[in-house]
Structure 1
């Protein structure tokens, strides 16, 4: 599959992805990419976020590939069983937050926990860092196996966001292209 063959739905996390974040750059760079826009980025509500993903998938004209970061990954996982099985072709997931951890932001953790463990009904890849402050690599690996996702070890990459130096993130774009090619 090529980017022109699908609607790419960018699903940011808590507080949205800023202008220099790799998700925002991809949205500008890929002609069929658009952002799932949440009404409240600062006080995430799981049910509202899931509803918005479902609506945007339903509105898509082409087969859908989801691109989630951080809390967007969990919103996708919570939405997955409610999405049309023939419409979503895959999910590219980056920087899972461990909302099950007791030290995770309680206002968000309570809303999005527990992390779903049922297999995702579409092909997926989860990219995880060994130095992500929001999730231990071992937890990300365990969740990837539960979801049936391929796991990619990003090494020492922090939360794979602007703060960790992943504005352009060309390696991620190459990996995304490879993921699309397999769909």
Structure 2
């Protein structure tokens, strides 16, 4: 019996890492903005929270509703990332413009929601599989937070290396990731 629990734990860890890779990729692009370490910490915690909340909502809402709205949620998340990416690209050409969506307040919620939408559908399947839900949710939140921090810090480092082109690259990464979400 303990071998089954260990196998389940590692399976959940791999699933959590796979879900957190979205946050890592987008964090890499977002990290190329001028972000302070305190903001990076807050972003990671928020993304971790959303990676707990979205599967939990998926579990609560159920299979019937998810088949109706899942496609719209994925397209919406992709469009949000593209919007943030285009805004970053445009602001790289004109440094006087204020950012349309920055990772603060509402912009942070939009960012965290867009990278955690895929965990909603995972939550739907978790509710029906009999997996220990609390453990899965904690692992999803932990790994997505950790991977977001890693992406943001690597992006921040790349900003120092790339100089003025970092925001252009970061916006391009976000646009590409948004398109990948929409078109699979």
| Alignment TM class, shorter chain as reference | under 0.3
Q: Which has the larger radius of gyration?
A: 2
User: TM-score, normalised on structure 2?
Assistant: 0.23
Structure showing greater relative contact order (alpha-carbon pairs closer than 8 Å, 6 or more residues apart): 2
Higher helix share: 2
